[in-house]
Structure 1
Amino acid sequence: MGKIVKIEPLHQETVVNTNEDLLSILLKNDLKVLQECGARGMCSTCHVYIKEGEESLSPLNRREKRSLEVITTCRTNSRLACQARVLGDGVVVEIPAGMYLSAIDNVEDLIGRRAQEDILHPISGSVLVEAGKLITRSMITQLKETQGKVEEYLAKSQEV
């Protein structure tokens, strides 16, 4: 028998198989969730909040705990969707607001525009540019440097 998972703030309900991870559920619902680290639990791009049913998910593993410690928007109900597997009913997932830097095709295109939503760091989830702020050339330079550091970090983590 399938388990029901609710996705907020979209008010979507999905029936899933036992032991299916939350990331695959979000992707099945056409949500453009990034997998910057390849779903290995090493970045924040699939960070979600569990509003209800935390006891119906697999327990946190060591890697997920370490990654969550780095995420600046982490709460006691935070999980990485790629690591959390559905074991029971009643799970309600909330997707944090914001857009990850790695989702932007060409950061240079943003110069002179206002950020539509917070632009977030792919590893820490910290806000790099606040929603509504005018994006300047110096911000773009900083964003590009951050992208390079993230790529370097993830490349090194794949070697391990």
Structure 2
Amino acid sequence: MVKTVRLEPIAQESAVETNGNLLSVLLHRDLSVLKECGGRGMCATCHIYVNRGMESLTPISRREQRTLAIITSCHANSRLACQARVMGNGVVVELPPGMYVNSVQDIEPLIGRRADQDLLHPLTGAVLVEKGKLITRSMLRQIENSKDLNLNDYFQHST
């Protein structure tokens, strides 16, 4: 049976099959969600806030709890869209403001510009570059030297 999910702040509604995950709703709407871990609940790139209808979603698993614990922008209403399955109507979700950085190469073309939105670390959700701040080559080197931004190694060693 089809359920309806509302996306904020874009005020759009989307249909999802019962037991379908919220990630499918976001991808269906062409929203910028990286799903860096392939939907395994191990990264922050599909982190969302459930504004209403938490009771209409499947319970949080231990893996999801562990991942949410390291996300710096986590709130009591946080979920990972890849793990939250829709069981009933009335779910209203909101994406955290900002853009998750998939790799340092994502930032290179932006050097010399001001960030249009916060640039976020894909595993922790930490702000790498604040909205309105100038993206500089030295900032890029600092991000490159961040030992925990090597996503390929992280996902190859995590199961």
Q: Which range, TM-score by smaller chain? A: over 0.9
Helix, strand or coil for the counterpart of 2:142?
A: helix
**CA deviation after TM superposition for structure 1 residue 148, in Å:** 4.7
Shift of 1:136: 1.5
CA RMSD of aligned residues (A): 1.5
Identify the residue that residue 77 of structure 1 maps to in structure 2: 77
Counterpart code for 2:124: S
| TM-score of the superposed pair, with normalisation by structure 2 | 0.93
- Are the aligned partners of 2:121 and 2:149 in contact in 1 as well (CA < 8 Å)? no
Asked whether the equivalents of residues 104 and 143 of structure 2 are also in contact (C-alpha less than 8 Å), the reply is: no
Percent identity reads: 57
Letter of the 2:13 counterpart: E
Structure 2 unaligned spans of 5+: none
Alignment partner, residue 96 of structure 2? 96
TM-score by length of 1: 0.93
Paired letter, 2:61: N
CA displacement at 1:150 relative to structure 2? 2.6
* Counterpart in the other structure of 1:125: 125
Q: Mean Cα displacement is larger for which, 75-84 or 27-36?
A: 27-36
Q: Which amino acid aligns with 1:122?
A: P
The gaps in structure 1 that reach 5 residues or longer are none
- Does the aligned pair in 2 maintain the 1:34–1:103 contact within 8 Å? no
Distance 1:127 1:149 in 2: 16
Q: Is the 8 A contact 2:104 2:140 kept in 1?
A: no
Letter in 2 for 1:85: R
Alignment partners' CA distance in 2, 1:87 and 1:48: 17
Count, aligned residues? 158
Query: 1:3-14 to 2 correspondence within 5 Å?
Result: 3-14=3-14
